[in-house]
Amino acid sequence: MSGLRGRLIVTVVFAAALGATAAAWAGVQQSTASLFEAHRRYHTEDLAGRITQAAPSAQYPPGRGSLDRLRIAAGEHSLVRYGDAASGDGVFASGAQVVPAELRQAMNAQADSEDPRVLTQRVRIDGRPWLLIGAPVMITAPDGTQAPSGIEVYAARDLTDVEEQVDGLVRGAATTTLAVLPLAVLLALLASQGVLRPVARLRETAQRLAQGDLAARTEPAGVDELARLTRTVNDMAASLQDSMESMARMEEDSRRFAADVSHELRTPLTTLTATVEVLHDILPRANSTRSADEEEARESAQLAVIETRRLVELVEDILDIARIDAGTAQPRWEETDLFEVISTCVRTRGWSDDVVITGPAAGPGGPTVMADRRRIDVTMANLIGNALTHGGAPVRVVITATSEGASVQVIDSGPGMPDDVLPHVFSRFYKADAARARTPGSGLGLAIARENALLHGGEITAANHPGGGAVFTLRLPRAPEPATGEVHQEQGE
Amino acid sequence: MSPTIGGVATVLLIEDDALVRRGLQLALKRHGHRIEAAEDGEDGLARFGIGGADVIVLDLMLPGMDGFEVCRRIRESSQVPIIVLTARGDDFDVITGLEAGADDYVVKPVRPTVLDARIRAVLRRAVGDPDGVRTHRGLRIDTEALAVSVDGREVGLTPTELRLLLALSRAPGRVFSREQLLEEVWEQGYLGDSRLVDNGVMRLRAKIETDPARPEYVQTVRGFGYRFGPV
């Protein structure tokens, strides 16, 4: 049972039980009181009637016989007293000591009254309930005036039956109260459901929203706080959906833009690449005694080839970085042996003479990571190329297996980097020396290297090696975060 | 089909951009190819229908019928090698192009020497020295006549598919990595796209296996590559 539901039910049941008990108790009290009052009235009137009948025939002052007669007229369990003389039977058989002091005092107090009343008190004698009635006997003078006679009649009436009736009432009330409880639980369940169902629906909606179903809504019911909360949640979901949609639109736009730019730039570059190579091919083969024009044409063709290649590289780099920025880069993760990739990278670029690679050799036990082979190749080519151009040969590449994955250090033999350059080396198009002539490369190499490292869930840092030279450190986790792309699956089977 | 290394191959270039078409035509001509140029898909299909070609270089982004469709239409009746040209460099083009039946792809801007090397690679039919007839269950590979049949039925393979099958069947049971197959069949270095291999295997299976989902001849060795032979 959920917390809210439990509390609701307990509260409702408790309130219902309290109400039922209070009502039953009040009813029992009232019934009991009127029951006793009815009996009291009946018995006092009955006794008064008996005495009124018997009193005229009594002698005055009464003798023993008169007292006895009066007692018999008063019925069972009666006591008739006059001064010290008394006649009693039943509970009064042993005298007046069962009459409580309060009643006796009250009788004494009104002894000289001209209009004494019949007094009653409920007592327990030997565990049984009795109604004690005390009645003074009046003498009626011939002129009709009445005066106290000094005779007192006490009568005891058994209230056992009445008490049993009261007990019955209490039992009835208790039973009713108990019978109400399951009903109260049922009502509480219904009530809690009425409250909790909208809450549950709201929770379900919130869950679906969290899972990315931005169209999830709850129909608000009623006008209470829950309905208001529901409307607020709906509004929130709607604005969330709006901003997600506009973000998706922007992303789609930038994706299309990157694709369009890509296409628009690649098309003329294709012609340029093809034709400058044709030019370059033809011109050197001009006859051996070249004219100045031919010499200049040949040089121009060579420049055109170099610059076209550079332009192509630049466009590729810009598009690559744009794809990463737009989050549309789709790395192809595969188990990659770093030593193997880096040695191949160095070998195919003709750097073998200037680069020394140290680290665990390829094969089982060597540092392998889940990585995009092409991107690791590009990253390492950029780092090593940068080290060779701006630092100096020999360049050391140190591969180490770490607890998280692997780290690769590229250490050059140059003078190291000035401290004010260090924070900017990964900035796009950053030139350490503004006055320096253009260097090979797009100016995006280190920026792309860093983006690729981030794409792998790793990082690149730049520092100066204590032993001299600049050191770039690439750290790669054993596997990228699952969210960054799908692991390349081999097809088949 | 007769072109070999050094021979003159007829290249059908289907490219809508006039300047690119002319530029590639000039460059490929210098590499010793004879170029037929078409400006859109319909034109290309018509020219192929009339004169044929030894290899088709096909731009994917064409007005009207796009390159994927052209590729599928050609594959309905021909095993001619197809190299697709993509200007977007995104994976969708590459995968869709290979699935439509292309043997290889290049991303614009392509250097003519690279395109020439790819053209020569997809044109080559044999791999290794012919060693007579290899038979495996119902599969019969004639390494001299370069003919393949399954249960007596002749199977038409593209040169690339044939080379892939020849490479794998040369050493039954031996595991070839994707990189090895890329090198041997597509003549591409270690940075070549291993999807070429996966796609080639898929198309080869579709042609020679009874149930390509449960291959009998070309097995996947998960995490390594492929091998020829029983499970």
Domain of B114, CATH number, reads: 3.40.50.2300
Chain A interface disruption, residue of B24, B60, B90, most A CBs within 10 A: B90
B44 located within any domain: yes
Q: Which of A160-174, A250-264, B27-41, B94-108 has the lowest mean pLDDT?
A: A250-264
d(CA A263, CA A162) in angstroms, rounded, equals 107
Residue A56 has pLDDT above 90, yes or no: no
CATH fold of A232-329, please?
Answer: Helix Hairpins (1.10.287)
Identify which of B167, B195, B165 has the alpha carbon closest to the alpha carbon of residue B180.
Answer: B167
Helix B112-123 vs helix B18-30: crossing angle, to nearest 10: 70
d(CA B146, CA B163) in angstroms, rounded, equals 9
Percent of chain B predicted with pLDDT > 70:
95
Q: pLDDT per residue over A356-395, tens digit each?
A: 998 876 555 567 888 988 889 989 999 999 899 888 879 9
pLDDT band at B7 (very low <50, low <70, confident <90, very high): low
The gap from C-alpha B207 to its chain's centroid, in whole angstroms, comes to 14
Q: Which residues contact A38 (CB under 8 A, 6 or more apart)?
A: none
Residues B109 and B210 in one domain: no
The predicted model gives A37-64 an average pLDDT of 83
The predicted model gives A318-344 an average pLDDT of 82
More confident residue, A459 or A61: A459
Query: With an 8 Å Cβ cutoff, is A275 touching chain B?
Result: yes
Q: Which of A51-60, A173-182, A261-270, A339-348 has the lowest mean pLDDT?
A: A51-60
d(CA B58, CA B74) in angstroms, rounded, equals 11
B64 located within any domain: yes
- How many Cα atoms are found within 13 Å in the side-chain-facing hemisphere of A406? 27
The gap from C-alpha A130 to its chain's centroid, in whole angstroms, comes to 65
Predicted local distance difference test score (pLDDT) of residue B45: 94
Residue B190 has pLDDT above 80, yes or no: no
Residue A205 has pLDDT above 50, yes or no: yes
B1 located within any domain: no
Predicted local distance difference test score (pLDDT) of residue A482: 56
Chain A interface disruption, residue of B111, B113, B202, most A CBs within 10 A: B111
CATH number for the domain that contains residue B188 = 1.10.10.10
Mean model confidence pLDDT for chain B: 88
Predicted local distance difference test score (pLDDT) of residue A379: 92
Residues B18 and B98 in one domain: yes
Q: pLDDT per residue over A119-167, tens digit each?
A: 888 888 888 888 888 888 887 777 777 777 788 888 888 888 888 888 8
Count of A-B CB contacts under 8 Å: 96
Q: How far is A412 from chain B (nearest CA, A)?
A: 26
Task: Return the DSSP state at A90.
Answer: G
Predicted local distance difference test score (pLDDT) of residue A439: 59
Strands (E), A116-264: 119-125, 128-140, 146-158
Predicted local distance difference test score (pLDDT) of residue A438: 53
Residue B2 has pLDDT above 60, yes or no: no
Residues B96 and B50 in one domain: yes
Percent of chain A predicted with pLDDT > 90:
11
β-pair partners for A489: none
Predicted local distance difference test score (pLDDT) of residue B19: 94
Task: Return the DSSP state at A483.
Answer: G
* Beta-carbon separation of B202 and A491 below 8 A: yes
Q: Which amino acid is at B30?
A: R
B3 located within any domain: no
Q: pLDDT per residue over B64-122, tens digit each?
A: 999 999 999 999 989 999 999 988 766 778 888 888 999 999 988 899 999 999 999 89
Residue B11 has pLDDT above 90, yes or no: yes
Residue where one domain finishes, among candidates B89, B123, B157: B123
Residues B25 and B84 in one domain: yes
More confident residue, A86 or A396: A396
The predicted model gives B173-186 an average pLDDT of 90
| Cα A60 to Cα A53, A67, A112, A376, distances in angstroms | 16, 10, 17, 136
Residue where one domain finishes, among candidates B123, B142, B170: B123
CB A266 within 8 A of CB A315: yes
Number of folded domains that form chain B: 2
Gyration radius of chain A over CA positions: 56
Gyration radius of chain B over CA positions: 17
CB B60 within 8 A of CB B68: yes
CB A341 within 8 A of CB B189: no
* pTM score of the predicted model: 0.61
Mean model confidence pLDDT for chain A: 82
Highest mean pLDDT among A51-65, A285-299, A353-367, B49-63: B49-63
Predicted local distance difference test score (pLDDT) of residue A434: 55
The pairing of strands B82-86 and B104-107 is parallel
B4 located within any domain: no
Predicted local distance difference test score (pLDDT) of residue A172: 86
Does the predicted interface ipTM exceed a cut of 0.90? no
Residue A223 has pLDDT above 70, yes or no: no
d(CA A229, CA A326) in angstroms, rounded, equals 37
Q: pLDDT per residue over A5-34, tens digit each?
A: 788 788 888 888 888 888 888 888 898 899
d(CA A193, CA A176) in angstroms, rounded, equals 26
d(CA A230, CA A221) in angstroms, rounded, equals 8
| Cβ-based burial of A263 (10 A; exposed 0-12, middle 13-18, buried ≥19) | middle
Residues B144 and B175 in one domain: yes
Chain A interface disruption, residue of B28, B66, B108, B168, most A CBs within 10 A: B108
Query: With an 8 Å Cβ cutoff, is A377 touching chain B?
Result: yes
Residue A178 has pLDDT above 90, yes or no: no
Residues B32 and B54 in one domain: yes
Domain that holds residue B96: 10-123
d(CA B10, CA B34) in angstroms, rounded, equals 5
| Cβ-based burial of A248 (10 A; exposed 0-12, middle 13-18, buried ≥19) | exposed
Identify which of A418, A416, A413, A341 has the alpha carbon closest to the alpha carbon of residue A380.
Answer: A341
Residues B33 and B87 in one domain: yes
**Total number of residues shown for chain A:** 493
Structure tokens at B39: 């400006």
Residues B50 and B112 in one domain: yes
B158 located within any domain: yes
What secondary structure does DSSP assign to chain B, as a single string? ----TTS--EEEEE-S-HHHHHHHHHHHHHTT-EEEEESSHHHHHHHHHHH--SEEEEES--SSS-HHHHHHHHHHH----EEEEESS--HHHHHHHHHTT-SEEEESSPPHHHHHHHHHHHH----S---SEEEETTEEEETTTTEEEETTEEE---HHHHHHHHHHHHSTT-EEEHHHHIIIII---TTS-THHHHHHHHHHHHHH-SSTTS-SSEEEETTTEEEES--
CB B58 within 8 A of CB B67: yes
Q: Give the one of A271, A377, A493 whose C-beta lies nearest to B20's C-beta.
A: A271
| Cα A206 to Cα A118, A212, A234, distances in angstroms | 78, 10, 9
Task: Return the DSSP state at A422.
Answer: G
Residues B118 and B144 in one domain: no
d(CA A238, CA B211) in angstroms, rounded, equals 50
* Beta-carbon separation of B222 and A493 below 8 A: yes
Architecture of domain A331-484: 2-Layer Sandwich (3.30)
pLDDT band at A182 (very low <50, low <70, confident <90, very high): confident
Q: pLDDT per residue over A290-317, tens digit each?
A: 677 888 888 888 889 988 988 888 888 8
Residue spans of the domains in chain A: they are 3-167, 232-329, 331-484
Residues B17 and B116 in one domain: yes
Q: Give the one of A269, A275, A319 whose C-beta lies nearest to B26's C-beta.
A: A275
β-pair partners for B105: B84
Contacts of A489 in chain B (CB under 8 A): none
Architecture of domain A3-167: 2-Layer Sandwich (3.30)
pLDDT band at B27 (very low <50, low <70, confident <90, very high): very high
Residues B138 and B117 in one domain: no
Predicted local distance difference test score (pLDDT) of residue A477: 92
B2 located within any domain: no
B99 located within any domain: yes
Residue B55 has pLDDT above 90, yes or no: yes
Residue where one domain finishes, among candidates B123, B152, B170: B123
How far is the first Cα of chain A from the last one, in angstroms, to the nearest whole number? 49
pLDDT band at A491 (very low <50, low <70, confident <90, very high): very low
Q: CA B108, B113, B119, B125: dihedral to nearest 10 degrees? A: -140
